Structure 1
């Protein structure tokens, strides 16, 4: 979202006077005279009634009024500005309709970008900015990813508690529209906990697992098991379910669902989507050790009919997690490569062995080329001597 700098031609005193008169004309309980206590008191009173303009007026006109308030706000010293900024942010979350919500969103974005990048007040503005963006269905206009978020606060990082609060909000506003982004936010949230306080993150950990399982684009799930808050869930049903998605095959999930149907449904997880994901994960695991699989094997392992094998494999190939070739004539699937379902010590060892083999093969090729080159030189010399 773009934001224009705040430039107002009037002096602060003149702006305050004009705003007071404007809101009094709209029927707000405010004096048209400036406060003798200073600009901060004027702002408190103006902000206290500024939402009266939401009841009437064109969005463009309201945007100009809010812009004027912001232009005064950014002049207030940091040590006296927190209550004023918080009061204004709270008012901006009260827009009664979508057009005015977008005006409030723009105003908060303008305030955020005109505050000093080292100001801790930017955190409070951004938190309310996300709330308003949710109301306007424009969250991705203000939040595109964790890296972008961290860069916004590089000069004044919020506290761990503040970031946890913000991550929870971001998870809430993205969970219905972007599961992949929501899952990344939750993983980042769990990463803010230490061994000392991980035990209090139970609810966050459960949300993180459920979000990751529900995301149709998240398949590498074993990193979750290493998160401290997730480790505190060992022995709970949600941890057992995660473990199945990390390393077990489809029959293990089917059995779990039969035993704990109510639990799965209570977490908001869709059984059919779980089955679809577990079939794909099972196929990936089979592909790691079997470069060639028959349709008969797949019907048994994936619990599908033979006429469903080809459509299933085509769907798998669309994910680009596995490269394979269908052999319809012989009812086989030939695997070219597959992404590892888990990536732990065994996979690192396998990668090391593969790189070592490549190194040895390259050395052999290099030696061969050196021999060929030497032979060519010797041949050239001998032909020169003959002539």
Structure 2
């Protein structure tokens, strides 16, 4: 019968019995395993080998990979490979005493090899991936996880991973990214975890716990300024009932300005501090979002410094520093005019795009249309003026040419004509007096 989990990329020669005995001898449990092999108790043999495999952490570094590869190859011959692989993966998270410096790299390479030995659609790959994820998290090696993330969705489709397992995976990735300081990836995977809940689960304790975690992550993230995806998530919408103050705070950051945030702080005095939210971070983010809204609703594309100062509740001296910050956050593009004390908006980000924003966009388009109409009218007038001037210049040139012809041209033509007539008459007269010319013939000689 074919092996349940046929391994890939491993080349070994020998039967299970021969290789198991060889492995047992290497681990100093040869006598115990020999009797089990004779009774054809494959899983009991593997159990002995896996328990004794902790000794592999003290063997020379050059023998480490080969020994583990053989052990895994033997495990994959069992119908209960999941149970044995889980123990092996746990062992690999423990220190490798034979190589303190290179130990984490050796363990990770071995885990990766196990992952690659399994066929792409083998569900065991999920368990190995989770072991790799836990290992990378415990060793602070998040950068090594990123290459896996590009293919993770396709892999989980191949493994037919259940929603609960997907959620567990996304949460673990989000936490690993958070600990590594990658707030963007952390937030994206929290959102993925939220989307794994069915409609009838959105108010469950698990769903509300993740929704609240996602909300806090979004508010405190230094790179997250768009809250619409989060706000539209059914699990987050349910927070309006289970966590109404938090939901109100999210709505302020998603759609409102600094003045509304300050009103929220007054109405719910001490809430931000009590929930251990970073007061300074929230204040800074709210000012940047307010700046973005101010730029979005400005039709003239010029925002006076005093208007920025008033909206952000800052001094005039601080305005240019906040302009730099909002550009750095990629919420607005533009340039400062220090001479005019205005900020020239080139591009801005709409925080929310609803009916109000459509009206603003319509007003802005109307303004642009009126401006373009005026420019077109001015250009037509300029063109008409240029054509009229060109016509006048042409008429003036023709008039000058005409005046030149009247003073000299006709007289010269008449005198020339008289000479021609006289010449013609004189030539005719001479020909008349001479008579016709006689042609020469042979008789004249």
TM-score band w.r.t. shorter chain: 0.7 to 0.9
TM-score, normalized by length of structure 1? 0.80
Q: Which residue of 2 aligns with 1:376?
A: none
Q: String of CA shifts for 1:76-120, please: whole Å, max 9, x gaps.
A: 3xx432222222223233346674333222222211222122222
- Choose which of 23, 47, 50 in structure 2 pairs with 1:44: 47
Question: Which residue of structure 1 aligns with residue 287 of structure 2?
Answer: 279
Of 173-182 and 86-95, the range deviating more from structure 2: 86-95
Could you tell me which of 218, 236, 239 is aligned with 1:233?
239
Q: CA deviation at 1:350?
A: 7.2
Unaligned runs of 5+ in 2: 1-7, 377-445
Structure 1 unpaired stretches of 5+: 366-387
| Offset of residue 345 of structure 1 | 5.3
**From 219, 223, 228, the counterpart of 2:225:** 219
Q: Which residue of 2 aligns with 1:247?
A: 255
In 1, Cα distance between equivalents of 2:359 and 2:308: 28
Larger-gyration structure (1/2) = 2
* Aligned match of 1:73: 75
Could you say which residue in structure 2 is the equivalent of 1:382?
A: none
SS at match of 1:333: strand
Q: Deviations over 1:152-201 (max 9, x none)?
A: 22322200011111112112211122110010001011111122011111
CA distance in 1, matches of 2:172, 2:257: 34
1:359-385 deviation per Cα after TM superposition (whole angstroms, max 9, x unaligned)? xx9xxx9xxxxxxxxxxxxxxxxxxxx
Correspondence 1:154 to 2:150: no
Match of 2:11 in 1: 7
Find out whether 1:325 has 2:327 as its counterpart. Answer: no
- Flag the 1:343–1:157 CA change in 2: closer, same or farther, 3 A: farther
Q: Note if contact 2:24-2:30 (Cα within 8 Å) is conserved in structure 1.
A: no
- Partners in 1 of 2:190 and 2:27 — Cα distance? 43
> In the alignment, is the contact (CA less than 8 A) between 1:127 and 1:166 conserved in 2?
yes
Q: Aligned-pair distance for 1:310?
A: 1.1
2:307: which partner in 1? 297
Pair 84,99 (structure 1): closer, same or farther in 2 beyond 3 Å: same
Structure 1 residues 184 and 21: alpha-carbon distance in aligned structure 2, compared to 1, 3 A threshold: same
Kept in 2: contact 1:194–1:228 (CA 8 A):
no
Question: In structure 2, what is the Cα distance between the partners aligned to 1:20 and 1:346?
Answer: 74
Tell me if the contact between 1:6 and 1:110 (Cα under 8 Å) persists in the aligned partners: no
The question of whether the paired residues in 2 share the 8 Å contact of 1:145 and 1:181 is answered with no
SS of 1:88's partner is: helix
Q: Which has the larger displacement, 281-290 or 43-52?
A: 43-52
Query: Which of 124, 128, 132 is residue 125 of structure 1 equivalent to?
Result: 128
Question: What is the deviation of 1:10?
Answer: 5.2
Moved more, 311-320 or 243-252: 311-320
Instruction: Give the 3-state SS of the residue equivalent to 2:203 in structure 1.
Output: helix
Alignment match, 2:84:
84
Instruction: Tell me the matched-pair count.
Output: 351
Equivalent-residue separation in structure 2 for 1:326 and 1:286 (angstroms):
15
RMSD: 3.1
Post-superposition shift, 1:42?
Answer: 1.9
In structure 2, the residue corresponding to 1:125 is in which secondary structure? helix
Change in 2 beyond 3 A, CA 1:74/1:353: farther
Query: In the TM superposition, what is the alpha-carbon distance from 1:7 to its structure 2 partner?
Result: 2.9
CA distance in 2, matches of 1:251, 1:49: 66
- So what's the TM-score if we normalise by structure 2? 0.71
Measured in 2, the distance between the counterparts of 1:204 and 1:57 equals: 44
**Which is worse superposed, 159-168 or 144-153?**
144-153
Matches within 5 A, 1:154-173: 154-173=157-176
